[in-house]
Amino acid sequence: MNYYSTNGKVSGVSLRQAVIKGLADDKGLFMPDVIKRLPQAFFDTIDTLSFQEMAYTVADAFFGEDVEADALKRIVYETLNFDVPLVKVSNPIYSLELFHGPTLAFKDVGARFMSRLLAYFVNREGDDVNVLVATSGDTGSAVANGFLGVEGVHVYVLYPKGLVSPIQECQFTTLGQNITALEVDGTFDDCQALVKKAFMDKPLNAKMKLTSANSINVARFLPQAFYYFYAYAQLKKLGRADNVVVCVPSGNFGNITAGLFGKRMGLPIKRFIAANNRNDIFLHYLRTGNYVPRPSVATIANAMDVGDPSNFARVLDLYNGSHEAICADISGCSYDDNQIAESLKRCFEETGYLLDPHGACGYRALCEGLTAGETGVFLETAHPAKFKETVEKIIGTEVAVPAKLQAFMQGEKQSVPMAKTFEAFKSYLMADK
């Protein structure tokens, strides 16, 4: 299958080229030429399939033309070596727990899949690849751990100094080997801007082959569609598969875009809710039809602190720029820190279920936005222990740290201080090679 750019000046790009390049030459994001609709028979029997079986069917629709069946199946099965359970929080609201992977965050799915798909292409070509990834927290840890030790791949993780949780920082600064952590004196938006500029710099690209593992990469965001299908299958087993509303805590919008792709493939989701913190650029678009990026604001739901969501371009392209069509499928909401904390505490006290700050946005949106007869699913995108200090302060009770996280916290921090200027970043990369 070929891919084209959302900016409309690049087309006919192979999957291999799209994955390795990450960003199109015209600065747009890659989109598949076709989004295949899955047969009704698949949805009729979806509740009888394992997570891996179901995901392979979805993966085949995207990647089957370009990757041998055995290799693709191996990639899917290795990626999904953990469960993504649907847990009832209150009637009729369910949490899709995406924190059972190695770094306890939803990005484990996309990062693990991309690392294996990129290795598949790199091993066939024999050329080393350098992965650039900007992170507001969870992306860095998921990508770093997904690519750790992968031969022929070096990962540079750019993160904003002092703006990720201590546990998140430990997950990508203590690894070493082929992982380099760059501590940028700026915001997430500054980190993301450095990555984008790097792809456009001809001298830099002439010296080193670059790609991105942010959700701008098709191999990162498309696999995130897997768990939307799995959530539906679990609801079907419970007899709750009608009138499903999915609420996605949204930052860079790769996660909700993957869900929209699933809907386009035939997944019977009635509608989506994009839950924002104070960085409510998308909500403003829904209300006005105008997309106005602005500098991000720091919140307790830090992984959503994005002032210019990259994947908005994909949403716009998916709906042919129609504001009316986007609003028909997606509504939005925004919450400040006090509201997020209030929802987290109330949910814990009333149900016993402990949310992370991002999941709290999703839960609150469903509590406020569901109508009669609808079943709500929110994405619990990370384990609450990844935000231990924040969550403990809110609920007044200690949060146990899973063994997986404790192991990261015992490592020694290895990071490189970095100014937020592109000149400093480029000089470092050129010197490192």
Catalytic annotation, residues? 107
Instruction: For residue 403, give Cα distances in angstroms to 243, 399, 410.
Output: 38, 13, 11
d(CA 291, CA 355): 30
DSSP symbols for 311-358: THHHHHHHTTT-HHHHHHHEEEEE--HHHHHHHHHHHHHHH-PPPPHH
CA 427, 309, 22 angle in degrees (round to 5)?
50
Helices (H), 13-106: 15-21, 40-44, 51-63, 69-79
DSSP 232-246: HHHHHHTT--SSEEE
For residue 250, count CB atoms less than 10 angstroms from its CB and return exposed for 0-12, middle for 13-18, buried for 19 or more.
buried
- Residue where the block lists tokens 């404790």: 406
* Non-local CB neighbours of 295 within 8 Å, separated by 6+ positions: 187, 189, 307
Give Cα separations from 170 to 310, 351, 433 (angstroms): 26, 31, 25
DSSP 145-165: HHHTT-TTEEEEEEEETT-S-
Cβ contact 325:315 at 8 Å: no
Task: Label residues 409-420 b or e (16+ Cβ within 10 Å = b).
Answer: eeeeeebeebeb
Rounded-to-integer distance, Cα 311 and Cα 337, Å: 24
CB 134, CB 191: distance < 8 Å: yes
Which residues make Cβ contacts (< 8 Å) with residue 371, sequence separation at least 6? none
In the structure encoding, which two tokens stand for residue 40, read together?
A: 């009704």
Give the residue among 83, 346, 66 at the shortest CA–CA distance from 233: 83
User: What distance separates the 2 farthest-apart alpha carbons in the chain?
Assistant: 60
